[in-house]
Amino acid sequence: MLTPPKARWPKAEPVRAAVRGNRPFTALLLAGVLLRLVAMLGYPPALWFNDSYDYLRIANAPFPHPLRSEGYGLFLWLLKPFHSLYLVTGLQHAAVVAMAAFGYRALVRDFRVRRHWAALALAPVLLDGYQIELEHLLLSDTLFTVLVFCAVLLIARPGAAGWRRAGLAGALLGLAAVTRTVGVPLIAVAVLYLLVRRTRWPAHAALAAAFLLPLGGYAAWFHHDHGRFAMTGADGVYLWGRASAFADCDRFAPPPDLAALCPYGAPGDRPASSHQIWEAGSPTGWRDGRPFDPVTNDKAQRFAMWAIGNQPLDYARVVAYDFFGRTFTWRRSPYPQPGTENKYRFPERPDRMRPLPVIGGGDRLSVVREYEHGSGRTRVVSPFADMIRGYQSVVNVRGTMLGAVLLAGAAGILLRRARRGAGLFWLTGTALLAVPPLTADFDYRYLLPALPFACLAAVTAWGRRPDAGPEPEPAEPGPTEREAEVQPAGR
C-alpha cells in the first residue's frame, strides 16, 4: 500500500493555517509592507522636518532640550552606533506594521471582533498614504503612536486589570508623554476608565507610579540643567501662540510688563498660531539656535492666561474652529502655512538642507554628519518615488471620514452600551485630537495618531461576533478563588 508523501515543510503548516483563517488582514499586511518598501526605495534615507535636526542634536550628545521632549531623541541615541538613517526609518515603518498586527490579534482574540471588521479597522494604519509618509519623517509621532497604542490595548483588555498589567501600561504612557507632551493628559483617561471598571486600588497605584517614574526622572534632569521642574522650557510660549490667534490688546489693555507680547496686526489678519511663534520679528524674540529664556516663557504664559481670562468666548471659538472646522474637512488647506503642510507629502524634489544653527551647538549640516557619517540628504529615486507620491495623493483618510468613524464609535457606545474598551479607545482618540487646539495649534500630522483609536472604538462597539456572549464583569477573583486556582488538580 502506498503512503502519501510527507509534507515538505511541516513546520510551516501553522503559518499556512493562520494565513487561511485571516486572508483579508494578511493581504492588507502584505500591501502595507510593500508600500513601505516602495517609500524607502523612493526616498532614501529619510525625509526631514524642522524638528528633525533638534532630535539628532539630542541623539549626538543627550541633554534636556528646552524646546523638544526628549523621548524620540533618546530613541535615536540608542541607534546612533549604527550611523544609519536607513535603520531609523526602517524601524519606524516596521514598528507600525507590527502595531497593526498586534492590534488585529487583540481585536479578534480579546475583544471578539469579527475578523473582516478587525482587518478593516487596521486598514487605515497600514494603507494611508500620509501615515506612511509620517513614518518616513524623522519625527516623534511614530514612536509616540506605537507607545500609546500598546498601552491603551493593555488597559482595555477584557478581564481584571492586575497591577502588573496596569504598571506596564503606565510605564508605556509615561514614555509616550516624555516623547510628546500631548500624551500627559492620557493618564487621566486611563484612570477614569479603570474607575468605571471598578478596578481595585493596586492597579491604580501601579498605573500612576509607573507613569510618573519616567516623567519625574526627566523633570529632575531638566531641573538640573535649567533650574525648573518641567518637560520643556517653552510651554508658556506655545500657549502664547494659541492666545495670539484672538488676543486683542486694543480692546483690553494688558499689564504693562506684558504689553510687548501683544501680537501684531488685527486678529483676523494674523498668521497661524504656531507660525507666529517662529516668524521673523515675533514678539517672542525667536532666533535660530537660541532657546527662549525663562523670563520670556513665564511672561508668555502669563499673557496667554490673561488673554484667555479676558476673552474666554474668543478662545472657545478659535479652539472649536480648529477642532471642527479644520480637523473634519474633506480637503486639506495649506495650514499652518504652505511650507509646513507640504512637509507631510512625498516631495517631487528634496528640500535643500541649510546650515542653520541648532540649540545645543553646531548647525543642521554638522549634526547630520555626526549622526549619519554622511550628508543624510534625501534622494528622490524614480520610479518608486513617483509611485508612492501618486499613491498618497489618492489613498488617504479624509478628515470627514475620520469624523464619521468617531460618530460611529460614539453611537455604538451609547446605543449598544459597549464597554469592552470602546469607551477608552474613543476617549483616547478624541483627546489626541482636542489637546493640540486647546494648548497650541492645529496641525494635520496630529490627526494620524488619533486615527487608529477612532477605528478601534467603532469596531469594538459594532463588530463583535454573535457568539461572543455577554461581557464578563471585570471584578478580580477573591482570595478563596485565587487559592483554588493554584491547588493541584488531584492525585
Q: What does the alpha-carbon distance between residue 403 and residue 408 come to, in Å, rounded to a whole number?
A: 9
C-alpha grid cell, residue 145:
503612536
3-state secondary structure of 61: coil
Q: Which residue has the cell 455604538?
A: 412
Specify the pLDDT at position 208.
96
pLDDT of 173: 98
* Residue the block writes with cell 535643500: 352
Per DSSP, the three-state class of 184 is coil
Answer whether residue 20 shows pLDDT above 90: no
Distance CA 104, CA 93 (A): 17
Distance between CA 366 and CA 373 in Å, rounded?
10
Average pLDDT, integer, range 46-64 = 97
Residue 389 belongs to what H/E stretch?
Answer: helix 384-394
Q: pLDDT value at position 325? A: 94
Helix (H) or strand (E) holding 407: helix 399-415
pTM (2 decimals)?
A: 0.92
DSSP state of 181: G
- By C-alpha distance, which of 426, 1, 406 is closest to 192? 426
Q: φ and ψ at 124, to 5 degrees?
A: -60, -35
Report the DSSP beta bridge partners of residue 137.
47
Stretch (H or E) spanning 476: none
pLDDT, one tens digit per residue, over 295-344 is 999 999 999 999 999 999 999 999 999 999 999 999 999 999 999 999 99
DSSP notation for 72-101: HHHHHHHHGGG--HHHHHHHHHHHHHHHHH
Burial readout 209-241 (b: 16 or more C-beta within 10 A, e: otherwise)? bbbbebbeebbeebeeeeeeebbbbbbbbbbbb
In this model, does residue 483 exceed pLDDT 50?
no
Please tell me what DSSP assigns to residue 462.
Answer: H
Residue 113 in 3-state DSSP?
strand
Per this entry, what is the length of the chain?
491
Which range among 3-7, 64-68, 217-221, 238-242 shows the weakest confidence by mean pLDDT? 3-7
Distance, in Å, from the CA atom of 453 to the CA atom of 144, rounded to the nearest integer, reads 13
- Burial (CB < 10 A; 0-12, 13-18, 19+), residue 276, is buried
Grid coordinates given for 412: 455604538
pLDDT band of 132, cuts 50, 70, 90: very high
Confidence of residue 419 (pLDDT cuts 50, 70, 90): low
| List of residues 6+ apart from 383 with CB closer than 8 A | none
Evaluate whether 453 touches 151 at the Cβ level (below 8 Å). no
73 with 169: CB under 8 angstroms? Answer: no
Q: How far is 297 from 106, CA to CA, in rounded Å?
A: 43
| Cβ contact 57:364 at 8 Å | no
pLDDT for res 477: 42
CB of 356 closer than 8 Å to CB of 365: no
Partners of residue 47 on adjacent β-strands: 137
